[in-house]
């Protein structure tokens, strides 16, 4: 696996570097620790050491003629002047290693990918053993702004992760990062290239937010309708509309029905949710609709009690109401009541939400929903474009 | 740029291939067209030609000993047997080129990235000039399932784009795709490697949905509270709570206040929205809160009329109500009324939502919101981990 990691690193646009365990990396890390502990270091001297790619020589700079042509403001002269004139800011302790995300669109792809990637470092992020700060620069649609950001990244010792649809912007980012010794990776390019090769069509190079796109497609109206519907159907409202829902969620209070409904609505599903409350009968309409639409949610009683206690505090519950809502015996009794209902309706899949993020529960719901519609060999969610 | 594209293609895990304009690619494309036009071709013979990487030789197979060790079910013998026994399915015409997305988590990163990448092919997707179908396989957490999917991808002539946290799963995907000639790209690996190098910590290799993660963090409660708040504050409800909102949206009906509020709530912002209706005074509370929280939304009158006509139909408006709501004169008058209010409140940024996706408007709102809080040199959205 060691080999695989090194290979992975060199295929990205980051200048080839050793695996995290190799010594230059460890040196960087201990230097970073020294920085964080409050020592003020000579940043410009440090940077040349920190990035394992050597600082740009005049020869390498003049060879990047493309860069100079496109953006006269980043010649090597200006670069040097910049360094002389301005004392680079020392990153504040506690800020952690900076990750710059740059996009010519909303930046949601960069943000989403970086968040997913950071999930791989949870083991040291949680206790702030490896503090990190992310900085999103969205709507970066001209070279000057891009260059300005890369200069700032160099000063902060940041990494630059970017999604730039315009190939000349992506190219500038890559080259400017090389010039200033900023490690960089094009997040989306490998995926775009793979699809281009697969379908035999060259990418347009036009950012998604660019004017002239078809603004109001079917998908747009579908999503808006789904959100409208879902808000109106929240918390058991209007049971007569249950038959119009694509998905119906059933569970006791604070199993996350509402946020899950809202998340699914954003994806275009019309969702209704119906609370299970001990002593209150479920609406008759629930049993008249297609039972394959209905999903039960369940949760660990201890976790539910914690959530309900927090909720009772927010709502200012007092006395009997508070104890009924978050009292352990009541919580267990209500979950048992719900489980009895689920047992009586074996068609409803019951999803255990304990410890799951909303996205994770949603992924399960959507997978089952599509499976039931398509009856595929391997569970999958298919779309045509 | 031509060079850059070829380079980009080779850095991904897709077997090195020529740019989309080169002849092997065009050959693939015309073969695909032949397929779509209904000709039934010998698929197994075709596949060897279609992928420009040559079919695996016995030598190359035995060298991939790692693969055999980990998953004895995909030895070359089984591969051959599989091909002999089973007549591969011909993709149905109209399905388009298949894109398989495989994840050991929710698949949201893969989905998000592929959607963003497909934005680069809108020029031919809209008119179905290059039909594509996507297939999401989420929660793929064992080798057998993974292998099954890759075999199916080979049969459908699909590309495989994956995010697999476990390095041995990612490695298996890569090798199995090579064996069966399925072009593949690891979507997240370059980003993970870049961050690992930058912070000097090795990734955990544990999928995000894995048990044992801290389930209920601050962020979780923040998002749930934001969604609760935002739903309750929808459409001008409870003006006395406006001061608790992080962001307040103001605009005439159907400028997308509700879906935008919901989208922002999911990101953890407590959002209230207040409708502008001609002849109805705005709540006094709106002018008592911090005016920097307030954002105006405006839209092109022709587009607004189209949206309102669709809306009036859904709601079953009739007679005077319908004409007032979607009548062009009324629409213009109401927008003028809104613009007068915006002019009187110059602190409110006014965002033109015409032709913008919700995500795009949200990106602008969030950028301004953070700018005002942080007063940065370059507009950015920063977070600490």
- What's the complex ipTM? 0.73
**Which residues of A fall within a CB distance of 8 Å from B21?**
202
pLDDT at B37: 37
Tell which residue, B230, B276, B232, B267, has the closest CA to residue B359. Answer: B267
Q: Which of A107, A148, A385 sits opposite B131 (nearest CB)?
A: A385
Rounded Cα gap, residues A138 and A115, in angstroms = 16
Tokens 């409202």 belong to which residue? A237
- Decide: helix, strand or coil at residue A234: helix
Sheet holding A184-186, edge to edge: A184-186, A159-163, A97-103, A132-137, B381-384
Q: What angle do CA B287, B288, B291 make, to 5 degrees?
A: 60
Low-confidence ranges of chain B (pLDDT < 70): 1-95, 209-217, 322, 376-377
Name the residue in chain A with its Cα closest to that of B149. A378
Q: Which of residues 114-173 of B touch A (CB under 8 A)?
A: 114, 116-126, 128, 130-139, 145, 148-149, 152, 159, 161, 163, 165, 167-168, 170-171
Residue of A6, A202, A266 to mutate, testing the B interface (most B Cβ within 10 Å of its Cβ): A202
Q: Where are the alpha helices (DSSP H) in B37-75?
A: 43-50, 58-63, 65-70
Whether residue A11 and residue B8 make contact (CB cut-off 8 A), yes or no, is: no
pLDDT score at A210? 55
Between chains, do A122 and B213 touch, taking CB under 8 Å as contact? yes
Domains (range + CATH), chain B:
2-199 (no CATH), 218-374 (3.40.50)
Measured at the CA of A345, the angle between CA A342 and CA A351, to 5 degrees, comes to 45
The strand pairing partners of B382, in sequence order, are A135
Residues on chain B touching A156 (C-beta within 8 angstroms): none
Q: Kindly identify which residue of chain A lies nearest to residue B196, measuring between CA atoms.
A: A20
Give the residue with greater pLDDT, A344 vs A122: A344
Q: What is the pLDDT of residues A290-331, one digit of tens each?
A: 999 999 999 999 999 988 888 887 777 777 766 788 889 999
Interface probe for B, chosen from A200, A314, A315, A358 (most Cβ of B below 10 Å), is A200
Which residue bears the tokens 């090769």? Answer: A197
Chain B CB contacts of A256 below 8 Å: 224
Structural contact between residues A196 and A203, judged by C-beta atoms closer than 8 angstroms: yes
**Most trustworthy range by pLDDT among A9-18, A105-114, B53-62:** A105-114
**Helices of type H across chain A:** 2-11, 23-36, 43-50, 58-63, 65-70, 76-85, 108-118, 122-125, 143-156, 167-179, 189-199, 218-232, 257-266, 285-288, 301-315, 319-326, 328-344, 358-374
Taking CA atoms, A266 is separated from A149, A262, B248, B360, in Å, by 32, 6, 20, 14
CA A320 from chain centre, in angstroms, equals: 41
Supply the pLDDT for residue B57: 37
The residues facing A274 across adjacent strands are A250
Reading the block at residue A223, the tokens are 């999503």
A202 pLDDT above the threshold of 50: yes
Evaluate whether B348 touches B292 at the Cβ level (below 8 Å): no
Instruction: Supply B323's token pair.
Output: 């004409």
Are B125 and B132 in contact by the 8 Å Cβ rule? The answer is: yes
Nearest to A163 by CA among A210, A208, A199, A118: A208
A35-78 pLDDT per residue, tens: 333 333 333 333 333 333 333 433 333 333 334 433 333 333 33
Top mean-pLDDT range of A2-11, A175-184, B27-36: A175-184
Q: Which residues of B touch A145 (CB under 8 A)?
A: 378
d(CA A330, CA A342): 18
Residues 302-331 of A with CB under 8 A from B: 303, 306-307, 310, 314
pLDDT score recorded for residue A127: 83
Spatial strand order in the sheet of A271-276: A271-276, A247-252, A294-298, A350-352
pLDDT band at A204 (very low <50, low <70, confident <90, very high): very high
Question: Which chain B residues have a beta carbon less than 8 Å from that of A266?
Answer: 259, 262-263, 266
pLDDT in tens, B262-296: 999 999 999 999 999 998 999 999 999 999 999 99
Measured CA to CA in angstroms, residue B315 lies from A365, B318, B322 at distances of 29, 9, 10
Looking at residue B371, its pLDDT comes to 87
């Amino acid at each position: 696996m060691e080999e695989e990691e090194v290979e992975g690193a060199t295929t990205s646009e980051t200048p080839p570097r050793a695996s995290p365990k190799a010594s230059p990396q460890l040196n960087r890390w201990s230097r970073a620790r020294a920085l964080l502990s409050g020592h003020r270091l000579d940043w410009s001297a440090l940077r040349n050491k920190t990035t394992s790619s050597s600082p740009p020589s005049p020869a390498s700079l003049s060879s990047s003629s493309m860069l100079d042509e496109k953006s006269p403001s980043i010649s090597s002269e200006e670069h040097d002047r910049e360094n002389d004139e301005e004392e680079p800011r020392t990153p504040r302790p506690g800020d952690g290693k900076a990750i710059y995300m740059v996009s010519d669109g909303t930046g949601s792809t960069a943000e989403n990918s970086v968040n997913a990637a950071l999930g791989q470092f949870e083991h040291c992020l949680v206790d702030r053993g490896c503090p990190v700060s992310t900085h999103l620069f969205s709507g970066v649609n001209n070279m000057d702004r891009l260059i300005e950001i890369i200069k700032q990244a160099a000063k902060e010792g940041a990494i630059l992760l970017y999604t730039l649809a315009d190939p000349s912007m992506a190219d500038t980012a890559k080259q400017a990062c090389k010039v200033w010794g900023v490690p960089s990776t094009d997040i989306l390019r490998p995926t775009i290239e793979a699809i281009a090769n697969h379908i035999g069509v060259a990418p347009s190079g036009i950012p998604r937010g660019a004017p002239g796109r078809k603004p109001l497609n079917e998908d747009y109206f579908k999503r808006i309708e789904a959100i409208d519907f879902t808000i109106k159907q929240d918390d058991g409202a209007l049971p007569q509309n249950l038959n119009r829902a694509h998905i119906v969620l059933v569970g006791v209070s604070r199993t996350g029905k509402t946020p899950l409904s809202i998340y699914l609505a954003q994806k275009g599903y019309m969702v209704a949710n119906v609370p299970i409350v001990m002593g209150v009968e479920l609406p008759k309409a629930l049993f008249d609709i297609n039972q394959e639409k209905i999903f039960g949610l369940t949760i660990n009683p201890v976790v539910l009690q914690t959530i309900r206690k927090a909720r009772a505090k927010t709502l200012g519950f007092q006395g009997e109401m508070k104890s009924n809502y978050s009292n352990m015996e009541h919580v267990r009794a209500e979950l048992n009541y719900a489980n009895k209902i689920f047992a009586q309706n074996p068609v409803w899949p019951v999803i255990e939400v304990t410890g799951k993020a909303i996205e994770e529960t949603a992924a399960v719901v959507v997978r089952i929903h599509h499976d039931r519609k398509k009856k595929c060999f391997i569970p999958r969610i298919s779309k045509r474009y």
